[in-house]
């Protein structure tokens, strides 16, 4: 009987529990694996904190947001963590883990790849609301986030219309504008601002003014948190940050661009403007049916990969097919919004 570990790393997102359920059920039912949950991402493997997952322990978790295993942004290869990779290797040996399923975004998969190069049998599953992982059409979590933002835009439309206001909606996505673009298209945004496209504030002002001259009394602006504000429009050009701190993988804490934009728009256009930051609501709660199905397919494919002895891989969605690609092909770079999607969104600007 082989022991298999499963962990969730990085920011949580809807669909993690659905994935854990699929991995555990497939592993036990089809291959008689003994399944272990590794607690709080890579930290659990450094500290050796695990719990056995049987069929009963994953019952009822399919619709639940968050992760029953906990998560963290632990980087065993970070500068302050010397000795952690060796601790991980020791724990893998002590727990007699044949393979590890790493459910996570770019950072988690980067660690998985480094461990694979050190001889660990790993298979990755791509998760993130940001949808910024290369080689997969979609990550799970993204569809749920898009639906949450779309509903928020629908709600903001009615209040914006009643008060003749401009509404600025700030959404997550880090350095990729997928959530803003998809939810903006689905919600009928009048302007969508994403990190992939340079900001021209004069364009934004003129577009809103033109709209209002044509008789529209409100506008909805969706802005991605990773948009850089040009120097002319705020004291310091660049990202708007919540704090000067960075996480274990060197990421800055984005947030606040919506409020700056709302002030600029109100000052320059004279239209009353409000902003809304959707923040972590985009990551909470139950996954959509699409995300539950994608999570389930990914979980099952990861176990199949282990059964076939295919390691150093990540399962991905291409078209409607689940396949796997080498981990080395997806790490270190982000998948960003291409012109195909932005051109669709642009038709509805102004
Ligand atoms: O990567 C997912 C994400 O939600 C990003 O969209 C966002 O920038 C970041 O995580 C927020 O991280 P934290 O959970 O540390 O606030």
pLDDT of residue 232 exceeding 90, the answer is: no
In this prediction, residue 244 has a pLDDT band, given cuts at 50, 70 and 90, of confident
Residue 180 located in a structural domain: yes
**Active-site amino acid positions:** 130
Query: Any alpha helices (H) in 118-177, and if so which ranges?
Result: 142-163
**What is the reported pLDDT for 222?**
98
Q: Is 133 in the pocket of ligand 1 (CB under 6 A)?
A: no
Give the number of domains in the chain: 2
Q: Is 254 in the pocket of ligand 1 (CB under 6 A)?
A: yes
Domain with 298, as residue range(s), is: 3-140+287-329
Residue 88 located in a structural domain: yes
Tokens of 329: 């092909």
Q: Within this chain, do residues 133 and 153 fall inside the same structural domain, yes or no? A: no
- The CATH number assigned to the domain holding 20 equals 3.40.50.450
Q: Within this chain, do residues 36 and 129 fall inside the same structural domain, yes or no? A: yes
Q: Within this chain, do residues 212 and 198 fall inside the same structural domain, yes or no? A: yes
Residue 350 located in a structural domain: no
Q: Within this chain, do residues 69 and 127 fall inside the same structural domain, yes or no? A: yes
**What is the reported pLDDT for 346?**
96
Using the atom order of ligand 1, give the atom closest to the CA of residue 225: 8
The answer to whether 276 and 168 have CB atoms below 8 angstroms apart is yes
Using the atom order of ligand 1, give the atom closest to the CA of residue 172: 6
CA of 161 to the centre of ligand 1 (A): 31
Mutate to test the pocket of ligand 1, among 66, 110, 130 (most ligand atoms within 8 A of CB): 130
Using the atom order of ligand 1, give the atom closest to the CA of residue 283: 4
Residue 301 located in a structural domain: yes
Contacts of 45 (CB under 8 A, 6+ apart): 5, 7, 38, 76, 88, 91, 92, 100
CA of 217 to the centre of ligand 1 (A): 34
Residue 339 located in a structural domain: no
Instruction: Specify the pTM.
Output: 0.97
Q: Within this chain, do residues 291 and 279 fall inside the same structural domain, yes or no? A: no
Distance CA 30, CA 58 (A): 16
CA of 30 to the centre of ligand 1 (A): 35
Using the atom order of ligand 1, give the atom closest to the CA of residue 174: 8
Q: Within this chain, do residues 101 and 122 fall inside the same structural domain, yes or no? A: yes
Q: Within this chain, do residues 182 and 231 fall inside the same structural domain, yes or no? A: yes
**What is the reported pLDDT for 313?**
98
Q: What is the per-residue pLDDT across 291-313, written as a single tens digit (0 to 9) for each?
A: 999 999 999 999 999 999 999 99
Nearest residue CA, atom 8 of ligand 1? 174
Q: What is the per-residue pLDDT across 159-189, written as a single tens digit (0 to 9) for each?
A: 999 999 999 999 999 999 999 999 999 999 9
Q: Is 141 in the pocket of ligand 1 (CB under 6 A)?
A: no
The answer to whether 78 and 247 have CB atoms below 8 angstroms apart is no
The answer to whether 14 and 147 have CB atoms below 8 angstroms apart is no
**What is the reported pLDDT for 234?**
64
| Torsion angle of the four alpha carbons 230, 235, 236, 241, in this order, in degrees rounded to the nearest 10 | -100
Mutate to test the pocket of ligand 1, among 10, 11, 40, 224 (most ligand atoms within 8 A of CB): 11
pLDDT of residue 107 exceeding 70, the answer is: yes
């Amino acid at each position: 009987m082989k022991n298999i570990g499963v962990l969730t790393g990085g920011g949580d997102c809807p669909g993690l529990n659905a994935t854990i359920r699929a991995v555990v059920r497939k592993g036990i039912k089809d291959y008689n694996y003994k399944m272990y949950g590794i607690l709080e991402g890579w930290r659990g493997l450094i500290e050796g904190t695990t719990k056995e997952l049987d069929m009963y322990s994953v019952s009822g978790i399919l619709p639940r947001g968050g992760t029953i295993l906990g998560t963290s942004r632990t980087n065993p290869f970070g500068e302050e963590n010397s000795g952690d990779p060796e601790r991980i290797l020791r724990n893998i040996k002590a727990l007699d883990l044949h393979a590890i399923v790493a459910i996570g975004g770019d950072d988690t998969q980067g660690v998985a790849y480094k461990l694979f190069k050190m001889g660990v049998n790993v298979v990755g599953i791509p998760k993130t609301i940001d949808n910024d992982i290369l080689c997969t059409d979609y990550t799970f979590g993204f569809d749920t986030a898009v639906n949450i933002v779309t509903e928020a835009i629908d709600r903001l439309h009615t209040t914006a219309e009643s008060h003749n206001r401009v509404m600025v909606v700030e959404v997550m996505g880090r350095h990729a504008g997928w959530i803003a673009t998809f939810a903006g298209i689905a919600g009928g945004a009048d302007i969508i601002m994403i990190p992939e496209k340079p900001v021209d504030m004069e364009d934004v002002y003129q577009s809103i003014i033109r709209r209002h001259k044509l008789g529209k009394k409100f506008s909805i602006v969706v802005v991605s948190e990773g948009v850089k504000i040009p120097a002319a429009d705020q004291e310091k050009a660049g990202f708007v940050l919540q704090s000067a701190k960075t996480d274990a993988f060197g990421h800055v804490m984005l947030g606040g661009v919506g409020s700056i934009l709302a002030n600029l728009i109100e000052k320059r256009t004279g239209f009353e403007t409000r902003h809304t930051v959707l923040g972590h609501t985009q990551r909470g709660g139950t996954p959509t049916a699409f995300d539950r199905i994608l999570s389930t397919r990914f979980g099952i494919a990861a176990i199949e990969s282990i059964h076939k002895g295919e390691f150093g891989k990540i399962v991905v969605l291409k078209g409607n097919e689940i396949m796997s690609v080498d981990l080395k092909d997806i790490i270190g770079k982000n998948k960003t919004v291409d012109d195909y999607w932005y051109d669709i969104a642009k038709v509805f600007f102004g």
